[in-house]
Amino acid sequence: MFSLQHMQRQFTTGRFDLLLKSVLHNGMQLPQSLADHLQSHPVCATSLALKRSLEVTYGRPNATTGKMVDFLLQAQEADGSFGFTPLPTGCGLAALHSVLNMAPLGSLPASRPQTVNQAYESAKSAMLTMLNDEAKHGLTCCNPDQTPLLTQSDALDWAYVLLLLSDDPQLASHPAADQLHRWFYQHQRQLPQATVQIWQRTCWSPAPESSLPHTFGDIAAGGYEQTQSIGIADTNNHGRNTPQPSRPSDRPGHGRFHQSPRSHIRRSPRPARHEQSSNV
């Protein structure tokens, strides 16, 4: 059973293995191989614990959460990443995003709001660099029959990173993230079931092919503002295996938590009752 007090004690005593175990699954069963990958860096356990702590306390920080934030700020590399790899960087970025969106400004005892915001922006820049590199080099296959270049181990990590990023609309709707989602969509049958199940929890669905750029170069040339809503499903049921309804091809896609404009809502015309009554 989850205990906030136990989690705080595990962080304070440096038992990151127990800390990760107490917050890892969080309502879903994850493979042991992913747990092993997360265990290799204390930032992962600390980030997930910080995120979970803010969730169960509805954003009310305490001395321990402040120390967790301070731990992440000290562990952040000069390039903004955590450990120079996607998995701890994704965990740290998700935790900082939760702090900025859930904790009241100025309420964390160990940090200042501007410091957390700078750390978040730096981590986001590092993650976008990793996503772009993966989309440009790790996923490209000249021959359709060629074996995908992303290994099963890397695919498991990236599936979990995409799940973490699905809470952040700016990152979830980025063209490079969409490109990575599309890779998972195309290679679902070639990946282990556990990896596919994690990725499916992002609730991503493909946009119509006619509305997508043909190459990643076209995406880069088109700019982020023009493509940020491409291929992103409405994911208000994040964390649940709930089938998403198919979207008509003539309706634009909207990022996570974005409401569709009223101008795009189709309504059937009301029956002209006054005309019928006038003919009687």
**Domain positions in the chain:** 1-131, 151-241
pLDDT digits (tens, 9 = 90+) for 102-111: 877 666 766 6
Other CB atoms within a 10 A radius of the CB of residue 117 amount to 14
With a cut of 80, say whether residue 86 has pLDDT above it: yes
Separation CA 68–CA 59 (nearest Å)? 14
The C-alpha angle with vertex 245 and arms to 184 and 259, in degrees rounded to 5, equals 95
**CA-atom Rg of the chain in angstroms:** 21
Q: Which amino acid is at 111?
A: S
Q: What is the pLDDT of residue 106?
A: 62
Query: For residue 261, what is the DSSP state?
Result: P
Q: What is the pTM of this model?
A: 0.70
Torsion region of 102: left, alpha or beta (phi above 0 gives left; psi -120 to 50 gives alpha): alpha
For the chain, give percent helix, strand, coil, nearest 5: 60, 0, 40
pLDDT digits (tens, 9 = 90+) for 145-198: 555 556 778 899 999 999 999 999 889 989 999 999 998 998 888 889 999 999
pLDDT digits (tens, 9 = 90+) for 32-69: 999 999 999 999 999 999 999 888 887 787 888 889 99
Q: What is the pLDDT of residue 257?
A: 33
Other CB atoms within a 10 A radius of the CB of residue 169 amount to 18
Quick one: average pLDDT of 128-137? 87
Query: For residue 201, what is the DSSP state?
Result: T
pLDDT digits (tens, 9 = 90+) for 111-125: 677 789 999 999 999
Number of helices and strands (H, E) in the chain? 14, 0
C-beta separation of 252 from 173 below 8 A? no
pLDDT tier, 75 (very low <50, low <70, confident <90, very high otherwise): very high
